[in-house]
Structures are given as C-alpha cells and as structure tokens.
A and B are shown apart, each in its own frame.
Chain A
Amino acid sequence: MPIVNRLCRLGRQIYGRRTFSTQTAAMKRMNLVSAINNALQIALESNPRSYVFGEDVSFGGVFRCTTGLADKFGKHRVFNTPLCEQGIVGFGIGLAAMGNIAIAEIQFADYIYPAFDQIVNEAAKFRYRSGNQFNCGGLTIRTPYGAVGHGGHYHSQSPEAFFCHVPGIKVVIPRGPSQAKGLLLASIWDPNPVVFFEPKWLYRQAVENVPEDDYILPLSQAEVICTGTDLTVVGWGAQMAILHQACSEGRQAGISCELIDLQTLIPWDKETIEASVKKTGRLLVSHEAPITGGFGAEIAASIAERCFLHLEAPVSRVCGLDTPFPLVFEPYYMPTKNKVLEAIKASVRF
C-alpha cells in the first residue's frame, strides 16, 4: 500500500526551524520507520537534555524505530525501562517537569491504557492545576497504532478518541514518512504533552523521499491533499491511503472529492474542514476505530453545527465496527475502500 508521493505540496507546508526550501533540500528515500528514527536522531542531537525510553528501545525497538540511537547517544539517553506503562509515562512526566525533553515509547497503543491515569489526570492537567508554575510540555508519547492485518484484539487498536476527550494534551497522527518526521519533531518541541500515534501498518510499506534537514510541520493544521468540489473526505493516519484510493475511484466515477488529512486531532483544525464543507456541501469522515464515540462523531457534530445551511446530505461516517478488533474477520471489520466508495456515492446521490 504505497503512499503517493506528494512532495510538491509538502514543500509548501513545511517551515523549518532551520531555513529549508524544497529546491535545495537533500532528499533521501525513507520508510516510516527510518523517518521516525531520523526525527529522533535530530531531537537527540539538537538538545543534550532529550531522552528516548520505553520497553526495548535500547536495542532498536521492536519496530526498529530507535535503531542505532543508544550507540550514538549513549545508554543513559536512550534506554530500556521496566515493563510498566504507567511507570513509563509517570517517569516521563517527572523528567519533563524538570525541563527535559522526554520522548517515551509505548510499545503498542493497545497497551497505553495502564498509563491512562498518568496521561489524563497528570500530564494533561500539570500546567493548569499548578497555575503554570510547572508543566510537562517536554513530554511526547510515541506509540504504534492501528490495524496491521493480523493483530487481533491487542495489536490493532486505534484509541485516539479516548485521548481527544482530554483538554491539555495534543493528539497527532501522521500519514507517511515526511509527515511523520515533521510532525514528530513539532510534537517533541511543542511546549505541551503530545500523544503521537504511528500507523504501524505503514512502518515499512510507506516509502518516499524525505528531506534530510531538520524541519517541522505545524500542529493543529489539517492538510488538503487534493482539492474537489462534490464532497469533503476527512481522515488521518493509515486510513488516508484507503481514502486516497476511494477518492481516485470516485473521480473515475465522476465525483470530485476533496481529501483532507486532519493530522492533529486535538486541538483540531475546524476552520479548514469548515471551509471545505462550505464549498462542497458534503462531508465523509473515516477512521479505523469503532464508530460509536469515535472522533468522527466530534467532527460530524461540529461541522453540522457550523455548516448546517451548506449541507446537502447527512454527514457520513465510515468507521470500524462497534466490536473488539477481530482477527479472522479483520477484512470485514475495516472501513475498506469499498465501504468508503459506497458511502461517497450514497452521499452524492442523497
């Protein structure tokens, strides 16, 4: 499932901490894993008080995202922790509260729940409750999320909506290598705690030219991937590839779709989606997570509120089913291209 290379658009969006332009930047073929690795390397190089830690990160990580970092930056800056998610996040909060950059890894998003209390009650409220005397803004929690073909219940989940109900943190999900590097660096430097979900299905499948420089992509900014006039399609992460296929097939059927990658789920870029829906009059939101209480509901409700007079069809949601993530039945569970395409057609015909 290759991600379409859209670097011309990328160049427009990128603004660097260091000067960067697409004309002169050196590019390198990277998959999602090496883009993440590259971002972590830049983070560790740029700030001597930055740390990378979690379960099995020292030898390179179970997905190889931290390969070579311990050798290069030392066992005290890139290290394994005991197997305990609440400990990893609590530790990261304390490290960040002392002014350090703490980049924690939770091995699978499915296992982030033991740290839910630390994220929701502690990290998210740290600045607010202290009257801005203390903060843990240096904390970034990276975690692989989403379907992978055979992950079953606990290697497939997309728990982003749980975190989108929490004021005080940011939730970011990239769709490919270039976005992953830019958004991860933005998350690391952002003065707020960030939960950064990495689409593990794309770790090795998504390959593209990625700028070798140090750059960031802005948070809370959606990206319009292709413009259209009939329908706005919104998604994030691995689902973008599915939506892209569905939009291409929709176009062949004469439907002009505007595809938008939300990128940051909270605080989210309402304005870009609103402007698009005011133009197209229709909205489809799609995500892997179960439909009920999913973040699609928030987008649907907000847009219905803001674009009521512009909507020509009900907002459509194509999402995972309201079941635990199944093993054998994954092809039926997933919001596949066929489901999306049918919903696109139904919306336009409404």
Chain B
Amino acid sequence: MGWRLPLRTALWTLRGKQPKATADMVRELSHRREVYSAVPCHLHIFPILKRLQSSEPERACSQNMDEEMNDFMGRKVSYSSQMCFIPEESTNSVPCYRLLSTHGDLLDPSSINELDKELCIEMYRKMVTLQVMDTIFYDAQRQGRISFYVTTIGEEAINIGSAAALNATDVVFSQYREPGVLMWRGFTLQQFANQCYGNEYDLGKGRQMPVHYGSNELNYLTVSSPIATQVPQAVGAAYGLKMDKKDACAVTYFGDGGTSEGDFHAGMNFAAVLGAPVLFICRNNGWAISTPTSEQFRSDGVAIKGQAYGVRSIRVDGNDALAVYFAVKNARKMAVEEFRPILIEALTYRVGHHSTSDDSSKYRSVDEIEYWRTRRDPVARLRMFLQSNRWWDDENEDLLRQDLRTQMMSVLHNAESKKKPGLSNLFEDVYDVIPQNLKEQEQETQAIVGKYPKDYPSDVPLD
C-alpha cells in the first residue's frame, strides 16, 4: 500500500506520541494547508473500510477489497474494482514536530526531564557564535576583504540542533549552509577565517571559494558547489560504515532546491535499497536563490517524498533547536541500529540573502524577511526558553556577544595578515603525485612569474 502516512501519524496521535497541537501550531498548519485529519483518502471511497477505521485503522488499510494477492513482480498488491486515483495532494499535510512555541514555551512539559541544561546552554552559545560570525564575515565581504560569503542566518537551530544530536564519528556531507555542524565539532573561528581568506593556514590550500570548509579530523567532508552531489556520496560512505561495522552513520544536508536534483533521487533510492545508515537532512527554507518552493515542487514539501522511496521520514520545525535535536537524535539511533536511512525535513526560512552576490529584496518582500528575522528567530526562541528556566540571563548574553565580537575581530585580523599558500600548491593534489605534464606547466608558470613579477600578487610565495 502506498498511502499509509496519514494512518501512521494517526496512530502516533492515538498513542499519544505526538505533542498536542497548540493554538499556535494549528494556526500555522492552517496557513499551509488544511488542518491535519486522521482519515486516509481511500477510506472516504470505501464505506466498509470507513466503518472499520475507528477501531482498527491498520487492518482496514491492509485488508482491501480482495483477499487474493496477485503475482505482479513489481509489487504485491490487492485488487480493487473501484477506479481510485491517488490524489496529487493529501488533505492531510505531514505535521511538523515542534517542542518550543514561538515564545520559547515547552509544548510538552514532560520532555524537560530529557533536557540537559549544560547541553542546551552550549547549543545556545554556538547558535549565537554562528550568528555573530555570519554578521562579521558578511560585513567583511561588503568591505571587499573576502571575495564571497554565505550566511546561515535563520537556520542556526538546524545547524546546531542536528550537530548536537550526532556523534563525533558520524560522517557529515554538507551543502554549504551548515558551518554550525563544523563549529559544534570544534572548528575554530580562526579556521573559518583562514578558509575564507584562503591563506597559508587554510586546510584547503586556498583552492576553493570561501565557505567551502572541510576537516578530515572532524569527519566533515569538504564542501563543493555543485548542488546535491554529496547526497549519493553520503549513501556510499554510509554503506562503507555499515560494512566496517562502525557505530556511526553518514549525514547529508541539502536545501529544498537540492531535492529537485537527480542526485537527491539517486541517493534516497540507493539508501533505501542498500540499507544504508544515512540521515538526509533537508533545510526547507522556502527559497532556492530567487525560486520559491512553489516553483520547486508541488508535493507536500519534502518529508512526503521519503515514503515513496521506503524511507522513514519526519518533518520538524527547523526554528526550534530542541525539536531538531530530538528528531535527529532519534533518527540517528534508528539509522545506526536498524541500518536504515531516515529523511528529516526541517522547515525554516532563509533570513539572509542567498549569498553576498544576491539581493533578495528583488524577489521577496522586506516585510517577509523582517517578520522571520524578528518574530521567528530560532536563536531568540531558544534564549526565551533558557531565560524562562533561569538558565541564562541578560548579563550572560552581553558578555558572550562582546567576547565573540572581540574574538572575531582578532581572527579576521590574523587571517588577513597571513601569506597565501605557495604557488606549488596550484599544481599539487590534482593526483597523488604530480604527473610530468604538470611538472612542466609549473616550470613554465614559474618562468613567466619570474620574468613579470609585478603582474602577479605579492602575497603568494613562489617557494
């Protein structure tokens, strides 16, 4: 049966596993689509099933019109003489898991017992760090000090909440709007700055654009620009981890736009068929540069796609760090213990421009941005929660932000004052050893630079 999601969710509700919808949540859902209801589509068509539905919804679903199973190789199904097209859209949108209200109230008070105070504070500190880093790097780009930058503003909760839920040995394949994962694992502000400046301390040797971070030590695969290429790669890595019997999974991040790439399809399908322990974390922030999701797909977002691949899936409020944390923590456990992929769609909003090369006010209203920046900010939401528990106060806040600003100024200055990597780095690492043609090209380049040194940057050592 291909239409079980509403039922499964209905069961969650029956068993009380879903947090009760608040007025706030219902309002939000009703904005998107109709309020969630527990009756699957075809039950409206078959009255007999509808009768069974209240007591035994799952049996009603599996015992269809005909007991005789057919022998199609493509799928074992039951027959129906009723012509029923699966509607293109469920009346029941996949619900969005949330623990914190917009005002930082815990929606399921019992979950307070599962919360670690220190972890919550650390998550908050890292979210603020990410915010401050973004603001200062963004300004540095505007001043022409670095060539390019991409902010994470509005998506701090997805970055940090998910990172906190993973083990350090889990292998991360990110898109480019997830530096918080690397930050959580210990990548320093100085290391971020070194990469953006492409100086001699950049682990990537100055070869890639800013924000294309990577760290072998921290199990964070180097970012590349092509969208979604990392998705099937994460599946391959996950398969390797499974075969090596490692207690680890692979994690891949991508945006809503990334799900339109063929590589998303490839990755989801391979992961399901090959039983790879991989987490697919989609940051559905509503925009792929200027393209809104209404021009990206017509499905009920991304979470709904998981079931079609046989991948267990959940939708979470991406501006709620605690919801993201718990969803990823549980997903990770299922992935590693059951060798299965899990899809997590985190709904959020890209508050910043797509990048420093983009002016997003050309395609969306400033009011919309302001609304999300001021009223739906994930950092402010977690702060309200912490402060209401007296785990944080204004003094802590001021100290933290001041300290971060000082640190940022210092790392920027440091990164800026360092030399670039030597010219030989242009030719190395294309292969494991430098082939003859590249040796010759290096000599030719050196000869030309030697002859016209004034026409070349002075901060690149010629070795």
Where the two chains meet, the residues of A that have a C-beta atom closer than 8 Å to any C-beta of B are 49, 51, 76-77, 79, 81-82, 84, 86-87, 89-100, 102, 114, 117-118, 121-122, 125, 127-135, 137, 167-168, 170, 191-192, 220, 267, 270-271
Contact with B240, one of A100, A118, A130, A192 (Cβ below 8 angstroms): A100
User: When the two chains form their complex, are residues A267 and B431 in contact, meaning their CB atoms are under 8 A apart?
Assistant: yes
* A-B residue pairs in contact (CB < 8 Å), sample of 21: A51-B243, A81-B270, A82-B273, A84-B270, A87-B270, A90-B235, A90-B266, A92-B236, A94-B236, A96-B236, A99-B240, A102-B236, A122-B224, A125-B224, A128-B430, A129-B224, A133-B215, A133-B216, A167-B430, A192-B431, A267-B436
Given the known interface contacts A90-B263, A122-B233, A129-B207, the answer about A82 and B269 at a Cβ–Cβ threshold of 8 Å is yes
| Residue ID in chain B nearest A99 by CB atoms | B240
| Residue ID in chain B nearest A137 by CB atoms | B432
User: When the two chains form their complex, are residues B204 and A131 in contact, meaning their CB atoms are under 8 A apart?
Assistant: yes
Decide yes or no whether B202 CB sits under 8 A from chain A: yes
Question: Complex: how many Å from CA A192 to CA B222?
Answer: 17
Decide yes or no whether B95 CB sits under 8 A from chain A: no
User: When the two chains form their complex, are residues B269 and A87 in contact, meaning their CB atoms are under 8 A apart?
Assistant: yes
| Residue ID in chain A nearest B214 by CB atoms | A130
Decide yes or no whether B241 CB sits under 8 A from chain A: yes
Q: How far is the CB of A73 from chain B (nearest CB, A)?
A: 12
- Which of A121, A132, A170, A271 has the largest number of chain B CB atoms within 10 A? A132
Residues of B within 8 A of A97 (CB): 221, 233, 236-237
User: When the two chains form their complex, are residues B432 and A127 in contact, meaning their CB atoms are under 8 A apart?
Assistant: yes
User: When the two chains form their complex, are residues B267 and A128 in contact, meaning their CB atoms are under 8 A apart?
Assistant: no
Question: Complex: how many Å from CA A133 to CA B274?
Answer: 27
Where the two chains meet, the residues of B that have a C-beta atom closer than 8 Å to any C-beta of A are 171, 173, 202-205, 207-208, 212, 214-216, 221-222, 224, 226, 229, 231-241, 243-244, 250, 262-263, 265-267, 269-270, 273-274, 428-432, 435-437
Contact with B222, one of A51, A130, A220 (Cβ below 8 angstroms): A130
Question: Complex: how many Å from CA A118 to CA B234?
Answer: 13
The 3 A-B residue pairs with the shortest CB-CB distance in the complex, in nearest-first order: A94-B236, A90-B232, A87-B266
Given the known interface contacts A94-B233, A127-B432, the answer about A84 and B266 at a Cβ–Cβ threshold of 8 Å is yes
Q: How far is the CB of B306 from chain A (nearest CB, A)?
A: 16
A-B residue pair count with CB separations less than 8 angstroms:
154
Residues of A within 8 A of B263 (CB): 86-87, 90, 118
Residues of B within 8 A of A267 (CB): 431, 435-437
Q: How far is the CB of A198 from chain B (nearest CB, A)?
A: 23
Contact with B229, one of A122, A137, A167, A192 (Cβ below 8 angstroms): A122
Apart from A86-B266, A98-B171, A131-B203, list 16 A-B contacts with CB within 8 A: A77-B243, A84-B262, A90-B233, A91-B233, A96-B236, A99-B240, A118-B229, A121-B226, A122-B233, A127-B429, A132-B205, A132-B428, A133-B216, A134-B214, A134-B221, A170-B431
User: When the two chains form their complex, are residues B234 and A128 in contact, meaning their CB atoms are under 8 A apart?
Assistant: no
| Residue ID in chain A nearest B209 by CB atoms | A129
- Which of B216, B229, B231 has the largest number of chain A CB atoms within 10 A? B229
User: When the two chains form their complex, are residues B240 and A94 in contact, meaning their CB atoms are under 8 A apart?
Assistant: yes
Q: How far is the CB of B220 from chain A (nearest CB, A)?
A: 10
Residues of A within 8 A of B171 (CB): 98
User: When the two chains form their complex, are residues B204 and A129 in contact, meaning their CB atoms are under 8 A apart?
Assistant: yes
User: When the two chains form their complex, are residues A117 and B212 in contact, meaning their CB atoms are under 8 A apart?
Assistant: no
Residues of B within 8 A of A132 (CB): 205, 428-429
| Residue ID in chain A nearest B268 by CB atoms | A87
Question: Complex: how many Å from CA A82 to CA B269?
Answer: 7
Question: Complex: how many Å from CA A267 to CA B439?
Answer: 12
| Residue ID in chain B nearest A136 by CB atoms | B233
User: When the two chains form their complex, are residues B202 and A131 in contact, meaning their CB atoms are under 8 A apart?
Assistant: yes
User: When the two chains form their complex, are residues A81 and B274 in contact, meaning their CB atoms are under 8 A apart?
Assistant: yes
User: When the two chains form their complex, are residues B436 and A270 in contact, meaning their CB atoms are under 8 A apart?
Assistant: yes
Residues of B within 8 A of A51 (CB): 243
User: When the two chains form their complex, are residues B243 and A49 in contact, meaning their CB atoms are under 8 A apart?
Assistant: yes
Q: How far is the CB of A128 from chain B (nearest CB, A)?
A: 5
| Residue ID in chain B nearest A120 by CB atoms | B226
Given the known interface contacts A87-B270, A129-B212, A267-B431, the answer about A95 and B237 at a Cβ–Cβ threshold of 8 Å is yes
Question: Complex: how many Å from CA A97 to CA B224?
Answer: 14
Residues of B within 8 A of A135 (CB): 432
Q: How far is the CB of B75 from chain A (nearest CB, A)?
A: 15
Residues of B within 8 A of A79 (CB): 274
Residues of B within 8 A of A167 (CB): 430
| Residue ID in chain A nearest B222 by CB atoms | A130
Question: Complex: how many Å from CA A127 to CA B216?
Answer: 12
| Residue ID in chain A nearest B232 by CB atoms | A90
Q: How far is the CB of A16 from chain B (nearest CB, A)?
A: 21
Given the known interface contacts A133-B203, A191-B432, A270-B436, the answer about A91 and B232 at a Cβ–Cβ threshold of 8 Å is yes
Q: How far is the CB of B438 from chain A (nearest CB, A)?
A: 8
Q: How far is the CB of A257 from chain B (nearest CB, A)?
A: 26
Residues of B within 8 A of A81 (CB): 270, 273-274
Residues of B within 8 A of A270 (CB): 436-437
Question: Complex: how many Å from CA A40 to CA B446?
Answer: 43
User: When the two chains form their complex, are residues B236 and A90 in contact, meaning their CB atoms are under 8 A apart?
Assistant: yes
Q: How far is the CB of A279 from chain B (nearest CB, A)?
A: 20
| Residue ID in chain A nearest B239 by CB atoms | A95
User: When the two chains form their complex, are residues B430 and A168 in contact, meaning their CB atoms are under 8 A apart?
Assistant: yes
Question: Complex: how many Å from CA A132 to CA B203?
Answer: 9
| Residue ID in chain B nearest A191 by CB atoms | B432
Q: How far is the CB of A350 from chain B (nearest CB, A)?
A: 29
Question: Complex: how many Å from CA A222 to CA B158?
Answer: 53
User: When the two chains form their complex, are residues B435 and A220 in contact, meaning their CB atoms are under 8 A apart?
Assistant: yes
Question: Complex: how many Å from CA A129 to CA B226?
Answer: 13
Question: Complex: how many Å from CA A129 to CA B223?
Answer: 9
Residues of B within 8 A of A76 (CB): 243
Question: Complex: how many Å from CA A195 to CA B350?
Answer: 40
User: When the two chains form their complex, are residues B270 and A91 in contact, meaning their CB atoms are under 8 A apart?
Assistant: yes
Given the known interface contacts A84-B265, A129-B204, A133-B216, the answer about A95 and B236 at a Cβ–Cβ threshold of 8 Å is yes
- Which of B214, B239, B250, B437 has the largest number of chain A CB atoms within 10 A? B239
Q: How far is the CB of A231 from chain B (nearest CB, A)?
A: 25
| Residue ID in chain A nearest B242 by CB atoms | A76
User: When the two chains form their complex, are residues A133 and B222 in contact, meaning their CB atoms are under 8 A apart?
Assistant: yes
| Residue ID in chain B nearest A104 by CB atoms | B236
Residues of A within 8 A of B222 (CB): 129-131, 133-134
Residues of A within 8 A of B238 (CB): 94
Question: Complex: how many Å from CA A87 to CA B436?
Answer: 33
Question: Complex: how many Å from CA A3 to CA B153?
Answer: 64
User: When the two chains form their complex, are residues B229 and A90 in contact, meaning their CB atoms are under 8 A apart?
Assistant: yes
Question: Complex: how many Å from CA A207 to CA B262?
Answer: 41
Question: Complex: how many Å from CA A114 to CA B429?
Answer: 26
Contact with A121, one of B204, B229, B241, B266 (Cβ below 8 angstroms): B229
Residues of A within 8 A of B204 (CB): 129-131, 133
Residues of B within 8 A of A220 (CB): 435
Contact with A129, one of B208, B237, B240, B273 (Cβ below 8 angstroms): B208
Q: How far is the CB of B427 from chain A (nearest CB, A)?
A: 10
